[in-house]
Amino acid sequence: MEAEPLTLQELREMAGRPVYCPDADGYGIVKCETKGHWAGIPFLVGAWHEDGVAVNFEYNIKKRGLKCYRIEQVAAPEKDIPKQPINHEMGYGDTVLVCPNCGQSAIGNPFRKGYELYPHCPWCGQKLEGGADHGKEE
C-alpha cells in the first residue's frame, strides 16, 4: 500500500518540518504563517539544484495542488528526542548555533524576533530543544 499524501491540516501541524514533494521533484520545509493574509496556508519552502545552480522556491501547496509526504525516519527514532543546539565558534569570537546531529547552522529564523529556532533541523530532521514547538504536547 502506498503512503497517502498529507492533508492540509496535517501540513499545518508540520510547520518547520521536512516533507517530500514529488511534484516539486524534491524535499522542502513546510511553512505556515500565523498572522496576516497568508495565515494558516501551508507553503513548501526549499531549493532546487541543477548544474551547479540553486534556485530558492516557496510554493503555496493548496493553490498548486502539490502532494507532500512525510519523510520516514527509518533508522533514526532518536531524532525525535529534543537536543540542545551547540554554540560553534566561527572565528574572531563569533559564534553560531548548530544542529547537534549534523552540524548545520541554518536551524533558526534570523528574521523573527529573538532569533526563533525551527522545531526541527531542516537538514536532518533532528528535533531541537527550544524550537518553536518546544514544550507542546505531540
Do the domain assignments include residue 3? no
* pLDDT tens figures, 82-124: 899 998 888 787 888 899 988 888 788 777 777 788 888 888 8
Other Cβ atoms less than 10 A from the Cβ of 101: the count is 19
Domain count, the chain: 2
- DSSP β-ladder status, 94-98 and 116-117: unpaired
* Residue 131, pLDDT above cutoff 80: no
97 and 40 share one domain = no
**What pLDDT does residue 73 have?**
47
CA gap 133, 74 in Å, rounded: 23
Q: Could you tell me which residues are beta bridge partners of residue 43? A: 31, 60
**What pLDDT does residue 134 have?**
44
CA gap 124, 87 in Å, rounded: 18
Do the domain assignments include residue 62? yes
The three cell numbers locating residue 53 = 545552480
* pLDDT tens figures, 41-86: 999 998 887 888 888 999 999 999 999 998 864 344 677 788 999 9
| Confidence label for 12 from pLDDT (cuts 50, 70 and 90) | very high
Domain boundary at 28, 51, 70, which? Answer: 70
